[in-house]
């Protein structure tokens, strides 16, 4: 840190059940949109690999965004 200020990094402490619920909601929404063909040209079925990738990456990126948000100052000096 500049100016000799030493601060510790803050880590968010989210509820695992909240992450699971949000992930399930996002994956379910994408599955419905995929099945109906609203986002894809072929409404023939689901792409399980895509849904699994979303289910794995969504919580990781959500945590990274929360980590950045916890460590950004709202009022710079």
Tens-digit pLDDT profile for residues 3-30: 545 578 888 888 999 999 999 999 999 9
**Structural domain that includes position 18:** 14-71
Tell me what pLDDT residue 45 has: 80
Tell me what pLDDT residue 72 has: 86
Q: Is residue 44 part of a domain?
A: yes
Number of domains composing the chain: 1
Question: Measured between alpha carbons, how far apart are the two ends of the chain, in Å?
Answer: 13
Q: What is the pTM of this model?
A: 0.75
Average pLDDT over residues 37-61: 87
Query: Rounded to an integer, what distance in angstroms lies between the CA atom of residue 60 and that of residue 70?
Result: 15
Checking if the pLDDT of 64 tops 60, the result is yes
Checking if the pLDDT of 1 tops 60, the result is no
Q: Is residue 2 part of a domain?
A: no
């Amino acid at each position: 840190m500049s100016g000799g200020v030493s601060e510790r990094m803050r880590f968010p402490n989210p509820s695992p059940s909240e992450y699971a619920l949000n992930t399930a909601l996002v994956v379910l929404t994408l599955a419905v949109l995929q099945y109906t063909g609203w986002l894809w040209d072929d409404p023939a079925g689901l792409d399980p690999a895509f849904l699994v990738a979303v289910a794995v990456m969504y919580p990781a990126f959500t945590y990274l965004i929360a980590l950045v948000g916890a460590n950004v100052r709202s009022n710079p000096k």
